[in-house]
């Protein structure tokens, strides 16, 4: 028996080693492009970034590329525009998606499932097909070169409605009945009962919406032609047109654009677990 146990332990150890080795390889494969981008941004002008074999570590690391980029184009203006667009998109998307999901999850009415299927079906329609009519509507509403014009297509998404509906379904309906007995109306049940208990789903939707709005390039490129309203992706595109041969500066601009996304994600990551624990029902 002891021999069999030792063999099992050895097999389990080998499996764990192989599993961790695979995870390390996958991790390096995923963060490899980011490390190479950071390495290129830190290299000085005397280093050849296209040398073979390539060198990951810069010989003379420097932050001058970041300084040059921030002095070349109005970084703080583009950052402000991106922050306004991203936060407006997040607030409106979470608000309208949760409001749309509430009747689909907690109310009984004829055609509810049909409406939900139709909403989910819109996820199969690419934005490129809707781009022209949405652009025409935005022009008719006078939303060109405005924050609201950049936010409009992302105010409500089928993914957000689906995510919030699934979160509301998991919450016991007895809580609604108790709230009604206490005199709460439908809006108060949504705001004071369901929203606090759906915190993990709200955080998830917030992260996905923020990343999508922050990195959106196509729609702002179409609806905005005033450089003072450019977001960071548009500014980065203009930067790549300015320094077509200097990839050090382009890499530095890309790193600057990515930093707010990383900070935002890391600041909300802990709420995935914390929100689930806060949403537990106490007896």
Q: Which CATH class is domain 67-278?
A: mainly alpha
Q: How confident is the model at residue 121 (pLDDT cuts 50, 70, 90)?
A: very high
User: What percent of the chain clears pLDDT 90, i.e. is strictly above it?
Assistant: 27
- Look up residue 135 and give its two tokens: 């652009």
Predicted local distance difference test score (pLDDT) of residue 1: 55
What pLDDT is stored for residue 119 in this prediction?
Answer: 92
Q: Which of 198, 183, 182 is nearest to 106 (CA)?
A: 198
The rounded distance, in Å, linking the Cα atoms of 233 and 79 is 10
**pLDDT tens per residue across span 16-46:** 888 889 988 888 888 888 888 888 888 887 7
What is the tens place of the pLDDT at every residue in 237-259? Answer: 877 665 556 788 888 888 888 88
Instruction: Give the tens place of pLDDT for each residue, 149-195.
Output: 999 888 999 999 999 999 999 888 888 888 888 888 888 989 888 99
* Annotated domain spans of the chain: 2-62, 67-278
Q: Which of 54-63, 64-73, 219-228, 249-258 has the highest mean pLDDT?
A: 219-228
What's the pLDDT at 154?
A: 87
Residue 85 scores a pLDDT above 90: yes
- What pLDDT score was predicted for residue 2? 64
Rg (CA), the chain: 25
Confidence category of residue 277, pLDDT binned at 50, 70, 90:
very low
pLDDT value at position 240?
Answer: 67
Give the pLDDT score at 275: 45
- Rounded Cα gap, residues 106 and 186, in angstroms: 10
pTM: 0.80
Q: Which residue has the higher pLDDT, 56 or 283?
A: 56
CB atoms within 10 A of CB 56: 10
């Amino acid at each position: 028996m002891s021999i069999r146990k030792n063999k099992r332990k050895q097999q389990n150890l080998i499996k764990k080693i192989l599993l961790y080795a695979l995870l390390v390889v996958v991790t390096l494969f995923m963060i490899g492009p980011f490390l190479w981008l950071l390495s290129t941004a830190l290299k000085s002008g005397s280093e050849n970034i296209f040398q073979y074999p390539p060198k990951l570590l810069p010989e003379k690391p420097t932050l001058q590329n970041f300084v040059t980029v921030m002095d070349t184009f109005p970084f703080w203006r583009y950052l402000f525009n991106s922050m306004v667009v991203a936060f407006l998109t997040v607030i409106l998307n979470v608000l309208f998606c949760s409001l749309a999901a509430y009747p689909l999850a907690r109310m009984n009415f004829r055609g509810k499932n049909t409406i939900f299927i139709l909403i989910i079906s819109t996820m199969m329609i690419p934005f490129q097909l809707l781009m022209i009519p949405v652009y025409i509507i935005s022009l008719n509403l006078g939303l060109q070169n405005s924050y609201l014009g950049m936010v409009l297509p992302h105010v409500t998404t089928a993914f957000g409605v689906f995510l919030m509906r699934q979160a509301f379904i998991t919450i016991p309906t007895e809580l609604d009945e108790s709230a009604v007995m206490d005199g709460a109306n439908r809006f108060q049940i949504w705001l004071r009962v369901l929203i606090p208990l759906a915190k993990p789903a709200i955080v998830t939707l917030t992260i996905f919406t923020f990343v999508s709005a922050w990195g959106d390039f196509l729609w702002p490129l179409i609806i905005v032609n005033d450089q003072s309203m450019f977001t960071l992706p548009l500014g980065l595109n203009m930067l790549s047109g300015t320094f077509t041969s200097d990839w050090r500066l382009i890499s530095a601009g890309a790193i600057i654009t990515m930093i707010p996304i990383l900070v935002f994600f890391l600041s909300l990551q802990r709420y995935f677990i914390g929100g689930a624990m806060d949403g537990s029902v106490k007896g």
